[in-house]
Structure 1
C-alpha cells in the first residue's frame, strides 16, 4: 500500500507530519494492506491565517484494488485531531465495505 500526503500552503511541518501520520496509518490499516493499492491523505486549513472553530480539514481517500475509491472527510481544531477522526472514519468504512464484499 502506497501512502501519499498532500498539504495546502497553510499546513506547516510537512515532513514531520508525514512521518508521524504514515506510522499511524500503518498501525491502523495494517489488516487492509493487501486490499488497498494507494491511500491519499489531504491536509488543509480552510481559513488560512485566520482562526476558527474546526477549520482544519483532513480528507483520506483509499483506493481498494478493483473497486471505486472511498473518501472520508473530517474537520477539527487541529490537523492532528482532524487526521485521527478521518482515520477512524476510513477504518470503519473499509471494514464495512470489505465485510459486505465477503457476503456476496
Structure 2
C-alpha cells in the first residue's frame, strides 16, 4: 500500500493529465476514476513516470445488456518526445479489461523504446555509430 501511495504522489506532482471516460453503459464517478487511476499509475508510473505526460482510459460496454465478455478498455499513453501509444483489451469486467490494456500498452512502449535503444548502439552501413 505504501508503494502505491508513493507512486501516486509522484505521479500527481509531475502534473500528468489523466482522463477516464466511459460510454453510457458504464457508470463513471470520481471514486471509480480514482481507483482506475491508482491501478494505472502504479503499473506505468514505476517504469515511465519521469517521461509520462498524459494517460487516457476509455471504457465501453460493447454488448451493453446482452452480457458476456464485453467490457473494452482502451489506454492511450503520451510520453515526452514520443508519439502516443495505444492498446486495448476486452474482458468480462472493468478491472480485468484495464489490467489487460495496461499490460499491452506497456509491451508496446517497451518494444518501441527497446528499438530506439538498439538503433542508438548499432553501426550503420556507412560505418557511422548510431546516436
TM-score band by shorter chain is 0.7 to 0.9
- Aligned residue for 2:54? 38
- Aligned residue for 1:65? 80
CA RMSD of aligned residues (A): 1.4
Is the Cα–Cα contact under 8 Å of residues 3 and 40 in structure 1 kept in the other structure?
A: yes
Indicate the structure with greater strand content: 1
- Aligned residue for 1:9? 24
Shift of 1:90: 1.3
Structure 1 gaps of 5+ residues are: none
Is the Cα–Cα contact under 8 Å of residues 7 and 14 in structure 1 kept in the other structure?
A: no
Is the Cα–Cα contact under 8 Å of residues 41 and 58 in structure 1 kept in the other structure?
A: yes
Q: Which runs of 4+ in 1 moved over 4 A?
A: none
Please, what TM-score do these two structures have when normalized by structure 1? 0.88
Compare relative contact order (CA 8 Å, sep 6+) and give the higher one, 1 or 2. Answer: 1
Is the Cα–Cα contact under 8 Å of residues 56 and 76 in structure 2 kept in the other structure?
A: yes
Please, what TM-score do these two structures have when normalized by structure 2? 0.71
Aligned length: 103
Q: Of 78, 97, 101, which aligns to 1:82? A: 97
Larger radius of gyration: 2
